[in-house]
Amino acid sequence: MPFHFPKNFDLRLLLRITIPIFLELILQLLVGNVDKIMVGNDYSATAINQANTILDMLTVSLSVLSAASLILISQYKGAQNREKEEQIYVLSFYFNLFVSLGIGVLLALLARPVLSAIRVPPEIMDESAAYLRITGAGLFLQAVMFSLSAYLRSNTYMKQCLLVAVLFNIINISGNMFFLWGLGMQGAAAVAIPSVISRFLGALILFYEVRKYLRLNLSFRRLLFCRSAELWKILRLGLPSCGESLSYSFSQIVILAVINTFSTKEAVVKTYATMLAMCSYLFTSAISQAMQILLGRAVGAKRYDEAETLVMWVTVISCLASAGISLLIALFSSTIFGLLSNDPAVIQLCRVVMIIDVVLELGRAVNIVMVRALQTCGDVLFPTTLAIIFCWVVAVGGSWTFGSLMGFGIIGVWTAMTTDELCRAGIFLFRFHRGGWKKLSLI
Distance CA 80, CA 182 (A): 54
d(C-alpha 233, C-alpha 231), whole Å: 5
Structure confidence at residue 392 (pLDDT): 92
Give residue limits of the domains in the chain: 11-439
H helix or E strand, kind and range, residue 337: helix 333-340
Residue 5 confidence (pLDDT): 54
Which pLDDT score is estimated for 379? 84
Strand boundaries in 32-89, DSSP class E: none
pLDDT value at residue 42: 66
* Cα distance between the two ends of the chain: 43
Can you tell me whether residue 60 is helix, strand or coil? Answer: helix
Q: What is the pLDDT of residue 324?
A: 93
Spatial separation of the C-alpha atoms in residues 251 and 257, rounded to whole Å? 10
Q: Give the whole-angstrom CA distance, residue 153 versus residue 290.
A: 9
Nearest residue to 313 via CA among 294, 328, 296, 297: 294
The pLDDT profile of the chain, 443 residues, written as one tens digit per residue, is 444 555 666 778 888 888 888 888 887 777 667 777 777 666 777 778 778 777 877 777 777 777 777 778 777 777 777 777 778 888 888 888 888 888 888 888 888 888 887 777 777 788 888 888 888 888 899 888 888 888 888 787 888 888 888 888 888 889 888 988 878 777 777 888 888 899 899 999 998 998 888 887 777 777 777 777 777 777 777 777 777 777 777 788 788 888 888 877 787 778 788 878 888 888 999 999 889 888 888 887 788 888 888 999 999 999 999 999 999 998 888 888 887 777 888 888 888 889 999 999 999 999 999 998 998 888 888 888 888 899 899 999 999 999 888 888 889 999 999 999 999 999 999 999 888 888 776 66
In 215-303, which ranges are continuous DSSP H helix?
220-223, 228-260, 264-280, 282-300
Q: CA 154 → CA 85, 230, 442, distances in Å?
A: 11, 17, 16
Predicted local confidence at residue 256, as pLDDT: 82
Q: What DSSP string runs through 157-195?
A: -HHHHHHHHHHHHHHHHHHHHIIIIIS---STHHHHHHH
Give the pLDDT score at 2: 46
Here the contacts of 340-343 (C-beta below 8 Å, separation 24 or greater) are: 340/37, 340/272, 341/42, 341/268, 341/272, 343/42, 343/265, 343/268
